[in-house]
Amino acid sequence: MTVADRIERFRAVFEEWARGLYHGMITHPAYEKIEKEAEDTEDEFMLACFPDAFGIPSPVSYYTAELLPYLEDEFEAWERRLWDRESLIERKGQQYHF
């Protein structure tokens, strides 16, 4: 086996691996579902930390206010997204096409 054959074999294996990686990360249909679930989890965390933004009193607001400088970039987008969001039932129902 020559060096050129080894390089060609490595290149073919790498192309197959890269194609699979691209398909799994970008084009696979489950990608959208995973993104929505990650967004839902992030929204739940932010709502648990900052319920005062929606008028829900929370005894831990004093402590979670310390997180605000770290989450300030995401806070405004999160608040806007939650106000504009359809109901949770509609969002979860999209998975089952009804």
Model confidence over 26-78: pLDDT tens digits?
A: 777 777 788 888 888 888 888 888 888 878 888 888 888 888 888 888 888 88
Could you tell me the pTM of the whole model? 0.57
Confidence of residue 88 (pLDDT cuts 50, 70, 90): low
For residue 46, how many other CB atoms are within 10 A of its CB? 20
Residue 98: the pLDDT is 59
Could you tell me the residue range of the domain that residue 29 belongs to? 3-96
15 has pLDDT over 90: yes
Count the alpha carbons within 13 Å of 72 in the hemisphere toward its beta carbon.
5
Question: What's the number of domains the chain is made of?
Answer: 1
